[in-house]
Structure 1
Amino acid sequence: MAVVRDLRVLLRFGNFRRLLAVRLLSQGADGVYQVGLATYVVFSPEKQTSAAAIASAMAVLLLPYSLVGPFAGVLLDRWRRRQVFVYGNVLRAVLATVTALLMVSQVPDWLFYVSALCVTAVNRFVLAGLSASLPRVVDKERLVVANSLSPTAGTLAATAGGGLAFVVRLAVADSDAAVVFLGAALYLCGALAALRIPRELLGPDTGLMQPRLGTALSGTARDLAAGIRHLAAPPRREAAWALGAMTLMRFCYGALSVMVLMLCRYALTSSTDDGLALLGVALGLSGAGFFAAAVLTPWTAGRLGAGRWIAVCAATAAVLEPALGLPFATAPLLAAAFVLGLTTQGAKISTDTIVQSSVDDGFRGRVFSVYDVLFNIAFVGAAGVASLMLPPDGRSVVLVFTVAVIYGAVAVAMARFERR
C-alpha cells in the first residue's frame, strides 16, 4: 500500500518522528478538551441548547483568539518554534486544569468561557508552529507526502482523542470535568515530547530571534502586512487562491457542523446520551474520511496538481452534500460525515502543500497564522449564519442548498484559475 510505504520512508527521518509525536499528543489533547467543552455546553441534560446558543459559544471561543493569530505568526517567525511547543503545551495543561475546576464549581458562565478561551488562544501558536516547522524536518521532494500524513495523523489523533472523551463521558455520569483533566494530562505529555527535538532545529532562520516582547508586538501590523504582500506576489498567487478556497470550504463545514449538532441533539435521537453517541459515530466516520484523504491526496494531487485536486474535492462535496443531507436521516448523515471528512481534508492537505512550497521560511509563521485566522472567522461566521437558518430541530433545506452552491462556486473558481 502506497501510504504505508510513504509513511515508512518519512519515519526514517528521526526529527520528523519527534515532530509527529508532538503533533499527535497535542492534537489528541485538543480532541479530548474540545469534546469536554462540547458535551458541557451542548449535551448537558439540564441545558436546552439552540443553534443560536451554539453559535454564541463558538463566537466566544473562536472569534476573540482570532486576534491572537497575527501575533502568533510574528512571534513564530522570531521565537524558537521548539520552545513554543514546550511552553505552550505546559501552559495549556495548566489552563485546562483550571477549566476542569471551574466546571465543578459554582461560577458564572463567562468565567468558564474565559478559561476555555485562554486554552484555545495558546493553541494558535502550537498549530501554526507545527505547520511552519514541517519543511525543516523533511526534504522538499517529500513535502506533499508529509503534508498528507502529518496533519492528517494529527486530525485523526484529535478524532481519537474525541472518541476517548466520548467513552469517558458515556461511561461515567457527569464526567465533563474528568474529560478535561484527561486533556490536561495529554497536553503535558506533548510538552515532554517536544523536549526531544533539538532546540535550534525548527527555526526560523532569521536575525530577529528572541526580541523583547514589546518590540515584537509593536511591529506586528508592519510584519503582518509584509507577510500578506509576500503571499500576494505573483509567484505565490496560487497560494492566495488556495487559501481563499479553503476559507469558503471551512465556512461550509462550520455551517454543517452546527446542523449536525442540532440533528443529533433533537431530530434523530430521543435522549442526550443517544445524541452524544450518534455524534461520536459521525465524528469517527469523518475521521475515516480524513484517513482516506491522506491515502488519496498524494496520488491525485501528484497527477492532477494540488490546485485541481482542491477543485475536485469542492465539486464532489457540491454534488454529494445535498444528496446525502436532504433526507435528514441517520444513515445518509453518517455517509455525509465521511464524504465531507474526505473532501475537506483533501483540500486542506493540498492547500498546506501549496502554501509551504510557495512561502519563504521567514514568512511561514505569519502566513499560517493568517490561514488560521481565516479558518476561525469563516467557522464562526458560518455558525452565525446557520443559527439564522436552522429551525429548532436542525432540519433546513435552505442551508443545505446554500452550502452546495458555495462548494460549487469554489470548484468552478479553482478550476478556472488552474486553467489560466
Structure 2
Amino acid sequence: MTAKAGPGVERESVRTYFALPGFRWLLYCRFAASWSDGMFRAGLAGAVLFNPERAADPLTIAGGFATLLLPYSLIGPFAGALLDRWDRRRVLVVANLLRALAILATVLALSAGVNGAGLFSLALLVEGVARFAGSGMSAALPHLVPPTCLVGANAAATTLGAMVAVFGGGCAIVLRALFGADDAGSALTTSFAFAGPVLAALIAARFARGSLGPSTVDEPADAVLAVARGLTDGARVAARTPSVLAGFAALFAHRAAYAVSLLLSVLLMRFSFTDLGLLQAGLPGLGQLALLAGAGILLAGFRTAWLIRRFGRTRVVLGALLLAALAQLGLGLPMTLPTTLAASFLITAAGQVLKLGVDSAIQRDVEDAARGRVFALYDTLFNLTMVAAVSAAAALTPPDGRSPPLLLAATACYLLGGLGYLIVLRRRPAGDL
C-alpha cells in the first residue's frame, strides 16, 4: 500500500494526501484509535473526577497522572527498540487488540467500584499500549509519503487525529448524560471505547507485511539485549541530532507549563467556576475546554507547514513559545471561566505547532532504523515532564486551583524553553534553520 507522489505534494491541500492510499489507510487507523482515546479518557475523567460516588483533590489527580504516565515512561524507550525490530504492521494489529482487552478490564473495574491503584493500573495498561501503537504509526509514516511531504502529511494526520479524539471525548460526555454519573453509568460510557482499537486493528491488517518498516534492523539477535539498548540508543541518536534535541527543549518546556495549567483548569472547573450563560463548569466545562483546545489544534495543523515555509522553523518555534507565554500570563492569570477557555485555545495551538515541528524533525533527520526508538524516547520524556510538573503543582496549589504563582512559574517555563532551544540550535548548520 506504499504510495508515491511528486515533490510538490507538501504544498497541496489535505485532499491531495488522501490520494495516497497508504497514507489514507494509516489515517483511518489513527482515527479509530484517536476516537477511542477521547472516549476512554473522558469516560475515565468523569468516573474519577466528577463522580458523586468518588472524591478528588489535587494530590488524587496528580496521583492519577503519575500512575497513568510514569510506569510507561520507564519502559517506553525499550518499546522503541521493538518498533525498530518488529514489523510495525504487526505491532499495530497486536497492540490495538491488547488495548481493546485492557479497556474491557477497566470497564469491569469501574462497574465493580474499584478505585485507586487498581483502577489506575488498568488505565495505565490502556494508555501504555495506545502510546506504543501511536509511536508505531508515527515511525511508519515516512514509508507512505515522499520525504518532501512529511511536514504537511504529519500535520494533517496529527491534527485530524486530535480532532477525532476531541469528538470522542464529546461522545463520552453525551453518553454520560444519558447513562448517569455513577459507577454503572461511567462503566457503560467507557465501554464504547472498546470499538476503536478493534477497528484500528482491522484497518492495520490491510497493509502488506513490511510495508510500514523498519527497512533495516541494526538490533542484535538477542531480543532482551535489543530491548535493553532502547533507552541509550534513542538518547544517543537524539543527542547527535540538533534539530531533534532543540525541539525537545522547547516542547518539554511547553509540556511542563501545560501540565500546571491542566491541573489548575480541572480544579477550577471542579471547585471554583460556576455556569455563566452558555459557558459551563464541571465536566461539560472540561468538554468546552477540550473543544476550544481542539480548535487550536486544528488551526495549528493547517497553518504550521505554511508558517515554517514562510518564516523558518526557528522563528515559528520561538513565536509559538512566546504566544503561549503571553496567553498564560494575560488570559490564564485572571482565572475566570471565559479567559481560561480562551487561554486553552491559544496555548494548545502553540503547543501543537511545537509538536508538529518536533515530529517532522524526527521523521526527516533520524534514520529509519532508529526512528522508533527516538519516538518512544520522545513519548517517555513527554510523560516524565508532565508527571514531574503536575506532581509539583499538586503539592503547592490550593484545593480550588486558584494559584497565581504557579501560573507565573508556567509562564517562565516557556521563556526558559525558548532560551534552551536557541542554545542547542547553535550546533546546527545555518542552512537547516
Shared fold, TM over 0.5: yes
Which of 387, 398, 410 does residue 394 from structure 2 map onto?
A: 387
SS at match of 2:177: helix
Matches within 5 A, 1:260-299: 260-269=265-274, 274-299=281-306
Give the match for residue 47 of structure 1.
54
Matches within 5 A, 1:218-229: 218-229=225-236
Give the aligned residue type for 1:199: R
Is residue 190 of structure 1 aligned with residue 200 of structure 2? Answer: yes
Is residue 238 of structure 1 aligned with residue 248 of structure 2? Answer: no
SS at match of 2:15: helix
Shift of 1:316: 0.7
SS at match of 1:123: helix
Seen in structure 2, the aligned counterparts of structure 1 residues 110 and 227 have a Cα distance that, compared at 3 Å, is closer
Seen in structure 2, the aligned counterparts of structure 1 residues 94 and 330 have a Cα distance that, compared at 3 Å, is same
Alpha carbon RMSD of aligned pairs, Å? 2.1
Give the aligned residue type for 2:160: A
Is residue 31 of structure 1 aligned with residue 41 of structure 2? Answer: no
Give the aligned residue type for 1:347: L
Which of 164, 174, 197 does residue 167 from structure 1 map onto?
A: 174
Give the aligned residue type for 1:9: T
Is the 1:66–1:377 Cα contact (8 Å) retained in structure 2? yes
Which of 238, 246, 253 does residue 258 from structure 2 map onto?
A: 253
Matches within 5 A, 1:21-420: 21-107=28-114, 109-174=116-181, 175-207=185-217, 215-233=222-240, 236-269=241-274, 274-415=281-422, 418=425
Is the 1:74–1:216 Cα contact (8 Å) retained in structure 2? no
SS at match of 1:196: coil
Is the 1:292–1:342 Cα contact (8 Å) retained in structure 2? yes
SS at match of 1:67: helix
Unaligned residue ranges in structure 1 (runs of 5+): none
Is the 1:71–1:217 Cα contact (8 Å) retained in structure 2? no
The CA distance in 2 between the partners of 1:113 and 1:412, in whole Å, is 36
Give the match for residue 6 of structure 2.
none
Shift of 1:416: 5.5
The CA distance in 1 between the partners of 2:10 and 2:33, in whole Å, is 23
Is the 1:143–1:353 Cα contact (8 Å) retained in structure 2? yes
The CA distance in 1 between the partners of 2:113 and 2:171, in whole Å, is 27
The CA distance in 1 between the partners of 2:115 and 2:286, in whole Å, is 28
Cα deviation digits, residues 262-297 of structure 1 (max 9, x gap) = 000010037xx9401111001000000000001220
Cα deviation digits, residues 165-198 of structure 1 (max 9, x gap) = 1111123213211222111111111111111222
TM (norm. structure 2) is 0.91
Is the 1:68–1:124 Cα contact (8 Å) retained in structure 2? no
Is the 2:158–2:301 Cα contact (8 Å) retained in structure 1? no
Shift of 1:227: 3.0
Give the aligned residue type for 2:248: L
SS at match of 1:59: helix
Shift of 1:3: 9.8
Seen in structure 2, the aligned counterparts of structure 1 residues 41 and 360 have a Cα distance that, compared at 3 Å, is same
Identity over aligned residues, as a percent?
A: 36
SS at match of 1:203: coil
Unaligned residue ranges in structure 2 (runs of 5+): 1-8, 428-433
TM (norm. structure 1) is 0.93
